Structure 1
């Protein structure tokens, strides 16, 4: 059973960026990264990962259709055990408050500090073992 991190972002270059940043971990099969390009796609994937060790969801806030903030309570309904970290270009206090109120475990601002994100993922991987 693989340990899974789901990244939700409508920007096409995000997958390449994350795969590049975590290439050693992915190659060593420490965890698997899956990518959804919309909130609706993410909800489908979250619903189908009940048997997988989904340890973390990283989601952009501003996406067309359903936003990350609108998706958040729906994800928590399906998988209340899985932490969700929201990612935004606008890390203002109001956005952070709204994300936390809806159940987010944290908020990262773009450009993403991958050292901070790596620590978060490492902590979750260790807890999953």
Structure 2
């Protein structure tokens, strides 16, 4: 399976954290992970047509220059087929409503529950397997 999950977060340690948490899945080749450290970098990655097929995107909300909420409609316009799950330290009702209104399929609060993320990834991978 040649599929990709994109993680967007301006904090460099997030890359290591995700690679560590998903090391078994990555080693087994279930999917690939790419990392963008800014919204503009994420936009260039999602519009690139080469490489594995993008199936899911996780994005932090609070980033400099362009927030995840500002990025979300641009992602939805460029790739409406790619579900986006937002990640934030602020899981209050207003944030949740803003995320859903902007078109995200979910909101995960920090500290990240990686069991929940893995379940979401498994669900997306199962859906892809059904369509192939």
Fold shared by both chains (TM-score > 0.5): yes
After the TM superposition, which parts of structure 1 deviate over 2 Å for at least 4 consecutive aligned residues? 49-52
- Number of the residue aligned with 1:41: 41
Q: Does 2:118 align with 1:88?
A: no
- Number of the residue aligned with 1:17: 17
Aligned to 2:87, the other structure's residue is in SS state: strand
On the 8 A contact 1:53/1:128 being kept in 2, the answer is no
- Number of the residue aligned with 2:54: 54
Shift of 1:53: 1.8
- In 1, the alpha carbon distance for the partners of 2:53 and 2:124 equals 11
- In 2, the alpha carbon distance for the partners of 1:81 and 1:11 equals 26
- Number of the residue aligned with 1:128: 128
Which stretches in structure 1 are left out of the alignment for 5+ residues?
A: none
Deviation readout 1:21-56 (Å, 9 max, x if unpaired)? 000000000000000000110000000047632110
The TM-score normalised by the length of structure 2 is 0.94
On the 8 A contact 1:83/1:104 being kept in 2, the answer is yes
- Count, aligned residues: 129
Which stretches in structure 2 are left out of the alignment for 5+ residues?
A: none
The TM-score normalised by the length of structure 1 is 0.96
On the 8 A contact 1:3/1:52 being kept in 2, the answer is yes
- In 2, the alpha carbon distance for the partners of 1:24 and 1:126 equals 17
Aligned to 2:125, the other structure's residue is in SS state: helix
On the 8 A contact 1:3/1:128 being kept in 2, the answer is no
- In 1, the alpha carbon distance for the partners of 2:80 and 2:50 equals 11
- In 2, the alpha carbon distance for the partners of 1:61 and 1:10 equals 10
RMSD: 1.2
